[in-house]
Amino acid sequence: MRTLYNILFLIFFALSSPYYFWRLRRRGNWTAGFAQRFASYDASVKQALTNRHVIWIHAVSVGEVGLCAQLISALEPCAPNAKIVVSCTTTTGMAEYRRRLPNHVTKIYYPVDRRKYVRRALATIRPEAIILLEAEIWPNFLWRARDLKIPTFLVNARLSNRSFPRYKKIGFLFRPLFAAFAGVGCQNQEDARRMIEVGCRRDIVQAVGNLKFDAAKSSEASSPDVRGLLRQAGMPADALILVAGSTHDGEEILLADMAQRLREKFPKLFLILVPRHFERCKELGQKLRSRGVKLAFRSEIFPNTQLEPGTVDCLLVNTTGELKFFYEPATVVFIGKSLTASGGQNPIEPAALGKPVIFGPHMQNFGDIVQTFLKTNAAVQVKDAGELERAFAGLLADAGRRDALGRAAQAVVAENLGAVGRTVAMILPHLESRGIWLNPKR
């Protein structure tokens, strides 16, 4: 099985490499740490790990980095002599790691899942435990960890309606990998059932809740002055602010056209677009300006910038890691990847801030969360673009309705806190068995 996988992986890697290299170059900052993807580490990384009990935590990209930060904050006081190493796959994830995590946390790129790179990575890092966030399953990495008897945990685990049948279909490959996990913390009971069905041992699977609720309530020591930035961009002090977060291709144009029409009734409406992939912003900005949108890029607003009121009615955020801060002044929030794309994005962050949240029909990746919000009248879901525009108009005109939605959303978040603590409690006994000293006052 391993031989067949490695043959197929090499073929896939050779065919797909040009595309992935193109994506790396497009996102920028791709050369720094590039050799780490092939398990080549410089002396500073090796020195930081010498004679240390290492816990390796992996999060794929920006969306999981916040969860990783929360997990580290809860784990470090419990295991103060442990050395934390974090990895990610994307350059945007690495930028967020460097922004959010302290210097004593070692940050690396996850190795390409070729056998020799995985062996070299694990031989260098020598982790006492591995924690994978959500469902990042790479066979060679997990096979080698199992061979070395390193306890591996899958946390905030979920299996979507799309991925669940796939794992079942090729169960001959994945069932032994899932069976090797030392602990699996799932977002809910349905995900726990699915994890058991694809091969996880029943006794190690727990429904601990969704870490995203805890991450949404976290605060950061430093954050941009978004309100000041919007004043610099010429936004009126009494503007109604529509924030569209993590949007995907096609949604921005629709939203900009809606905003133009809505300004007939709400002349001081200000639109903030935060695309999920910032590298699309240059081309997107050209399209928006060609449609008459008075646009400014976030990167153009410097400390000494002061645009005249009325010269800009749309801010296009072409930076990463700032979405949460742009939710704070919002009057109404739209969740992207839910109208013209499928899957949806995280609605919890604006909900935690007490914002009225609207999303489209395609929120499959957050199905249980969406149902919780809808059952408690804590969010609005629309079927199409026409219904979305009407929902915007209704909420912009009704402050009482906005406040009611925001209070209900905050209540949902408050009721679902605690997943981080339960996840750490699942992991700690295994750390102690590996010789990691645990703080008795934890």
- For 305, the token pair is 């910038």
Give the CA diameter of the chain. Answer: 67
Place of tokens 């750390």: 431
- Could you tell me the pTM of the whole model? 0.89
Residues 370, 408: Cα–Cα separation, whole Å: 13
Amino acid at 326: F
Residues 126, 263: Cα–Cα separation, whole Å: 59
Distances (CA, A) of 127 to 21, 113, 150: 29, 17, 7
Q: Residue 169 pLDDT > 90, yes or no?
A: no
Q: Please write the tens of the pLDDT for every residue from 230-257.
A: 999 999 999 999 999 999 999 999 999 9
Residues 157, 130: Cα–Cα separation, whole Å: 14
Q: Which residues of 26-42 are buried (b: 16+ CB within 10 A; e: fewer)?
A: ebeebeebeebbebebe
Q: What's the pLDDT at 239?
A: 96
Q: Please write the tens of the pLDDT for every residue from 327-377.
A: 999 999 999 999 998 889 999 999 999 999 999 999 998 988 999 999 999
Q: How far is CA 288 from the centre of its chain?
A: 27
Helix (H, G, I), strand (E, B) or coil at 77: coil
Place of tokens 């994978």: 132
Domains and CATH numbers, the chain: 30-217+418-433 (3.40.50.11720), 226-415 (3.40.50.2000)
**Of residues 206 and 434, more confidently modeled:** 206
Q: Please write the tens of the pLDDT for every residue from 116-139.
A: 999 999 999 999 999 999 867 899
**What would the mean pLDDT of 110-114 be, rounded to a whole number?**
96
Phi, psi of 141 (to 5 degrees): -60, -45
- For 198, the token pair is 């694809």
Q: What's the pLDDT at 221?
A: 59
Q: Please write the tens of the pLDDT for every residue from 248-303.
A: 999 999 999 999 999 999 999 999 999 998 889 999 999 999 999 999 999 999 88
**What would the mean pLDDT of 176-197 be, rounded to a whole number?**
95
Report the half-sphere exposure of 112 (CA within 13 A, side-chain side): 19
Instruction: Show the DSSP H helices in 28-170 as ranges.
Output: 43-49, 62-75, 91-100, 115-125, 139-147, 163-169
Residues 438, 436: Cα–Cα separation, whole Å: 6
Distances (CA, A) of 116 to 162, 210, 226: 31, 35, 46
Q: Please write the tens of the pLDDT for every residue from 402-423.
A: 999 999 999 999 999 999 999 9
**Is residue 68 within 8 Å of 86, Cβ to Cβ?**
yes
Burial class (CB in 10 A: 0-12, 13-18, 19+), 385: middle
**What would the mean pLDDT of 217-226 be, rounded to a whole number?**
78
**Of residues 61 and 98, more confidently modeled:** 98
